[in-house]
């Protein structure tokens, strides 16, 4: 038996119920636990609420921080945006239903937690994984694969389904009592909900679509379109944030128009005026639009007519718009708004 009188665990906290329960189970065995949360850029956490005015009044919270506060543990939030690119662009185990590289993502995060554990002299890693819970990453075959490919091996403990898996180091060492762990499996959430009730947990997050934009069909389509238009599978943080705001229409392969839907998005898109051509309507109230790509003069006129279509001048004969280049140069265009039948469904990304 290993002698360590004060073992310490680092717990992957997503902000959902399972990692909250897994952490509580280990805390209740007297283990010092701290949380770790990774920000990939694709986390759903409140971004659209921050951008859209109609959502700004909603009470916002970061679920990982909320979980940590409920459990009384520290939380380390780690920016992995750059490193995550390789996971998304080159997933060894492929994608799920959309552009979600769930298995590679889990391996990546457990590996990052392992590095953190070693750097901070912690002893093992906890996750809220449950065998059979997720079709891509949480299956019986993937559990040992994650442990192996992350390099965590026997230092990875899944308290909610540990009894269905071989003993891990914390159990062998006697730090954790195996009998007090669980044997949950499958997609049924009732055992987790019952355990949450027994702990007195209320108000926890249960996002129906998961916590990652990459599992979202519409978002994945916009990302695929971005890569196709640029003829390059790559992105910067601003690229993936912009996919969360506005209507995206691509009238021609070499340019896209991002049109705000309300005041909050007007402000948000205006913040990118040094990166893209910015269009605003002058003669009528209307949206703010960014032009992404390499439009020529005719394309700009088409973009202006499209933006005018979404303004309050949509039924007017002519709408005047301001066109600002990224260098601040301004010009004006006066155009007839596109008619509804002139806006092809195929333009909508």
116 binds another protein (CB under 8 A): no
Binding part of the chain for another protein, among 75-83, 141-149, 288-296, 318-326 by CB under 8 A, reads: 75-83
Q: Does 217 bind another protein (CB under 8 A)?
A: no
Choice between 161 and 290, CB closer to another protein:
290
| Of residues 49 and 334, the one with the C-beta less far from another protein | 49
Structure tokens at 158: 């899944």
**Site membership for another protein, residue 45 (CB under 8 A):** yes
Residue 224 engages another protein in binding (rule: CB under 8 A): no
Where does this chain touch another protein (CB under 8 A) — which range of 65-73, 118-126, 300-308, 339-347?
A: 65-73
Per-residue x/- mask for another protein, residues 20 to 39, rule CB under 8 A? -----------------x-x
Instruction: Characterize the bridge pairing of strands 32-39 and 288-293.
Output: unpaired
Residue 62 touches another protein, criterion: CB under 8 A: yes
* Contact pick of 8, 27, 29, 66 for another protein (by CB under 8 A): 66
For the bound state, the minimum distance from the C-beta of residue 78 to another protein, rounded and expressed in Å, comes to: 8
CA distances from 280 to 64, 78, 124, 264 (A): 38, 37, 54, 15
What's the maximum distance between 2 C-alpha atoms anywhere in the chain? 83
Site membership for another protein, residue 241 (CB under 8 A): yes
191 binds another protein (CB under 8 A): no
Comparison of 64 and 278: residue with beta carbon closer to another protein: 64
- Under the criterion CB under 8 A, does residue 61 sit at the interface with another protein? yes
The answer to whether 216 contacts another protein (rule: CB under 8 A) is no
Residue 8 binds to another protein (criterion: CB under 8 A): no
Work out which of 2, 28, 54, 60 binds another protein, going by CB under 8 A: 60
85-91: Cβ within 8 A, 24+ apart? 85/234, 85/235, 87/40, 88/40, 88/42, 88/214, 89/233, 89/234
Backbone angles phi, psi at 15, to 5 degrees: 110, -10
Binders of another protein among 250-279, rule CB under 8 A?
267, 271
Indicate the residue among 61 and 98 with the shorter CB distance to another protein: 61
Positions that interact with another protein (CB under 8 A): 37, 39, 43, 45-47, 49-51, 56, 59-62, 64-66, 68-69, 72-79, 241, 267, 271
């Amino acid at each position: 038996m290993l002698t360590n009188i004060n073992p310490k665990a680092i717990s992957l906290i997503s902000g959902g119920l399972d990692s909250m329960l897994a952490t509580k189970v280990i805390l209740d065995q007297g283990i010092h636990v701290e949380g770790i949360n990774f920000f990939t850029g694709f986390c759903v956490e409140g971004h659209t609420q921050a951008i859209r005015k109609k959502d700004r009044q909603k009470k916002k919270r970061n679920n990982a921080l909320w979980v940590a506060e409920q459990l009384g543990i520290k939380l380390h939030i780690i920016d992995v945006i750059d490193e995550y690119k390789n996971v998304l662009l080159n997933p060894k185990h492929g994608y799920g239903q959309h552009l979600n590289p769930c298995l590679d993502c889990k391996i990546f995060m457990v590996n990052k937690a392992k590095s953190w554990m070693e750097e901070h002299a912690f002893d093992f890693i906890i996750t809220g994984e449950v065998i059979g819970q997720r079709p891509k990453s949480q299956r019986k075959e993937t559990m040992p694969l994650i442990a192996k490919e992350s390099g965590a091996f026997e230092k990875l403990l899944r308290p909610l389904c540990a009894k269905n898996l071989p003993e891990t180091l914390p159990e062998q060492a006697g730090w954790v009592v195996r009998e007090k762990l669980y044997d949950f499996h499958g997609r049924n959430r009732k055992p987790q909900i019952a355990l949450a009730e027994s702990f007195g947990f209320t108000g926890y997050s249960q996002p129906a679509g998961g916590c990652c934009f990459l599992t979202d069909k519409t978002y994945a389509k916009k990302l695929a379109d971005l890569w196709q238009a640029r003829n390059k599978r790559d992105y910067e943080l601003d690229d993936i944030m912009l996919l969360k705001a506005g209507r995206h229409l691509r009238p021609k392969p070499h340019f896209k128009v991002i049109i705000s839907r309300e005041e909050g998005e007007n402000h948000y898109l205006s913040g990118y005026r040094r990166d893209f051509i910015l269009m605003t309507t002058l003669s009528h109230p209307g949206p703010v639009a960014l032009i992404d790509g390499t439009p020529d003069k005719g394309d700009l006129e088409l973009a202006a007519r499209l933006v005018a279509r979404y303004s309050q001048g949509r039924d007017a004969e002519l709408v005047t718009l301001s066109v600002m280049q990224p260098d601040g140069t301004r010009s004006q265009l006066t155009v007839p708004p596109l008619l509804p039948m002139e806006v092809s469904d195929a333009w909508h990304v």
